[in-house]
Structure 1
């Protein structure tokens, strides 16, 4: 039985067969069978909102309704979610003006082609869509001070809505605990200065800012506050499988519905570590593996199942490159990961530069482990500049790893590093 690993929009075949020294780490419920087709699952969630009136009731009397929706870096099946949300809105208030605000966070704007791919041509033609631009200060409104002390600035399109809604999905997140819910506001549609304060080095270093954990998580605490101040009234969040198909959905209150969805994900994807001398991970394929920046998430799953000094092999297509100049230079401009880490930890919360949080986590991994990237050859030099190793194929990566750990090394394979909670 050969194992395949998602890579961009295709797959790579693991060149070794599972056995006593090659073990596959997947959640115990990875073969979960959903109750009904995708659209049926979403309709059922909307018909049974958690701690909230139905959406068709909430929209009554509202004239300016805004739906925050994830951007091109997230595999949210918005082409299913958004039309069903619009259907509920029209049922309760056919005259309401609806705007979609794309939660780009700190990412680049979603292109017209990507909008069509994400929402479908009909939605793009009929509904105004606005890309959030975090660096445009005049687009933001001040909403107070975060529990952590930072300033909360949120996109005025969201703040000025009569009713603020959000479409998204829930998966394990490597420092916010889980995606979805409150993350639609912060970092989704918050200003650059707010995001950078929330993602400061002290919070990223917190032992509570880890995959699958919300309790005492300082990043999550700020995000909850931001969603409350922005008056996020209703969410539709889905859970997807490895094929990017909806298998579960929650709708309703931004806190209660999200918590129920998080519990479902925790029960679904929790996995016991299989300590390995060599750990192979992925980012679940496109769109989550479109750059090295995003691929750090899958590496943290490998970290959670790696022996001391293990070699991590990360498989990611990186069709969109490294993930930004700032991210590149935050590692490449330093002689070692430790030198970069020392700089990050000495940076004040107010002065957190863009992408430092991702660089900090990557440095944490590189200080403990050798990391080999299997990706497009065009990024080989950039990968090496950032203190990772590079291999063009899985075969070559394994040969390099075994040269370090020996031919008898125990190998752990994580086919979907962003779809598992290891611990």
Structure 2
């Protein structure tokens, strides 16, 4: 059979000699009419005055008022750009309220991710393609104390530092995408602020081992989820005048724009995605194939696909990940690499003991390695993970979990192949290897076609 698997902005066709169940999101929501759906949401928000009314009130009180719009970075497929994107309508509303472009700043709320380059920013926002090119855009820097302001502590003891320019702005707008999130339950809403524009001191508890070890730190779980509770408390301390969140379907079409109150608009968006992102499965599988999806620009981000695959695989089963790692560093940041090295040296049990010690000094991005540990615990053997990607240099694989897909193929003729053809070869070889090494003579195989965006739920008893 032929498997159509997402790869970067397109798809690859993979031949498979074995029966494979192809499973995706249960629902099929309708895309909304654009741009009407965007403008209607701004004018008729949830539990809030319209954005225009809020902006007019701010400018009437202070003609020099500053407006800040927080956006996600390019690891999220938020529909910002163009006629059918949300950015130009937000900014046009502020201009209609008589904010000047010089009074508007866009802050890229990337949390601990690297700064975006100018060409990446333009590719994501497209401001130069419209009349909005004079709006300032800046990267939030979580480790730059000059950019931060201290707001005190949360009820859980986090020291709250947030972006100073955001906190001191007269009008605070937060944007983002609401999708299931493997730690915080759902993205969007309060996450635009925490972790989006907080400092390293706040991240240390928010992404610390204690929170992530909670059983409630999981997909689609908000109530009792310590990450959700902490993020919301920080967001309320920082303040938010207006939220603009979107939901998407598997084809990245907008299925809803949820604007208005930080809590209520986000809650409505989460209820929307609950109706269609679940991938119902009748049983666990011996082999799970999953694309890393849009978010999988590096190994760090591809961990999100691994977590979803682990929800569908049998204990001791095998996972095959297909990724196009387009980031400038296809592995991830320095802290991520350092944490992966510790995991490789210490093993899963010792690594988790180390980072859970109250005296442990947290390494930036160790939280993603903690999540990888959960995956590796499920599949029991690190070699039961096969990672099919072209961009990671051979030397970088020393401390990465799993087996690189390129090791499974004969590369003698690779110069004649395109990247897509090489990845097809790797994936086909990975499936063949997984089948041959399975404990089951006729292993069950599933392709989770929606990657990290579909949330597997198995009906059989665990």
Q: TM-score range by the shorter chain?
A: over 0.9
Q: 2:419 matched to 1:419?
A: no
Q: Find 2:94's aligned residue among 85, 89, 92.
A: 89
The equivalent of 1:256 in structure 2 is 264
Give the conservation status (yes or no) of the 8 Å contact 1:341–1:364: no
Judging changes above 3 Å, is the alpha-carbon distance between structure 1 residues 415 and 381 closer, same or farther for their aligned structure 2 residues? farther
Map 1:148-297 onto structure 2 (within 5 A).
148-273=156-281, 274-285=283-294, 288-297=295-304
Compute the displacement of 1:185 (Å): 0.6
**1:339 and 2:350 correspond:** yes
Quote the offset at 1:78 in angstroms: 1.2
Which consecutive aligned stretches of 4+ in structure 1 deviate over 4 angstroms post-superposition?
Answer: none
Question: Match for residue 60 of structure 1?
Answer: 56
Say which is worse superposed, 120-129 or 9-18, in terms of deviation. 9-18
Task: Show the 5 A alignment for 1:347-362.
Answer: 348=359, 351-362=361-372
**Which of 364, 368, 374 is 1:364 aligned to?**
374
Deviation at 1:292, TM superposition (A): 0.6
Cα distance, 1:381 vs. partner? 4.4
Aligned residue pair count: 416
- 2:33 aligns with 36
- Secondary structure at the counterpart of residue 241 of structure 2: strand
Change in Cα spacing, 1:243 to 1:418, as seen in structure 2 (3 Å) is same
**Separation of aligned partners in 1, 2:448 and 2:311:** 11
Q: Which residue of 2 aligns with 1:48?
A: 44
Q: In structure 2, what is the equivalent of residue 399 of structure 1?
A: 432
SS in 2 for 1:42: helix
Which one is further off, 171-180 or 8-17? 8-17
8 Å CA contact retained: 2:88, 2:132: no
Contact 2:39 2:89 in 1 (8 A): yes
Q: Aligned-residue CA RMSD in angstroms?
A: 1.9
Aligned to 1:385: 399
TM-score under structure 2 normalisation?
0.86
Q: CA deviation at 1:3?
A: 2.9
Report SS of the residue matched to 1:418: helix
Residue 100 in structure 1 maps to residue 106 in structure 2: yes
- Aligned partners of 2:398, 2:322: CA distance in 1, in Å? 15
Q: CA deviation at 1:91?
A: 2.2
User: Unaligned 5+ residue runs, structure 2?
Assistant: 59-64, 407-425, 458-462
- TM-score normalised by structure 1 residue count: 0.93
Structure with max Cα Rg: 2
Please list the CA deviations of residues 63-86 of structure 1 after superposition, one character each: whole Å capped at 9, or x if unmatched. 111110111221111111111101
Q: What is the CA–CA distance in structure 2 between the aligned matches of 1:377 and 1:101, rounded to whole Å?
A: 29
Cα distance in 2 for partners of 1:318, 1:235 equals: 31
Q: CA deviation at 1:385?
A: 2.3
2:150 match: 142
Structure 1 Cα separation of the partners of residues 40 and 17 of structure 2: 41
Task: Report whether the alignment pairs 1:313 with 2:310.
Answer: no
Cα distance, 1:136 vs structure 2: 0.4
Change (3 A) 1:123 1:183: farther
Counterpart CA distance in 1 for 2:359 and 2:78 is 34
Question: 1:18/1:44 Cα in 2 relative to 1: closer, same or farther (>3 Å)?
Answer: farther
1:26–1:124 distance in 2 versus 1, CA, 3 Å: same
Question: Residues 340, 123 of structure 1: CA spacing in aligned structure 2 closer, same or farther, 3 A cutoff?
Answer: farther
What is the rounded CA distance, in whole Å, between the counterparts of 1:420 and 1:252 in structure 2? 27
Q: Deviations over 1:213-253 (max 9, x none)?
A: 10101111111011111111111101123333222111000
CA contact (8 A) 2:32 2:254 kept: no
Indicate the SS of the match to 1:313: strand
Instruction: Specify which of 120, 124, 139 is matched with residue 114 of structure 1.
Output: 120
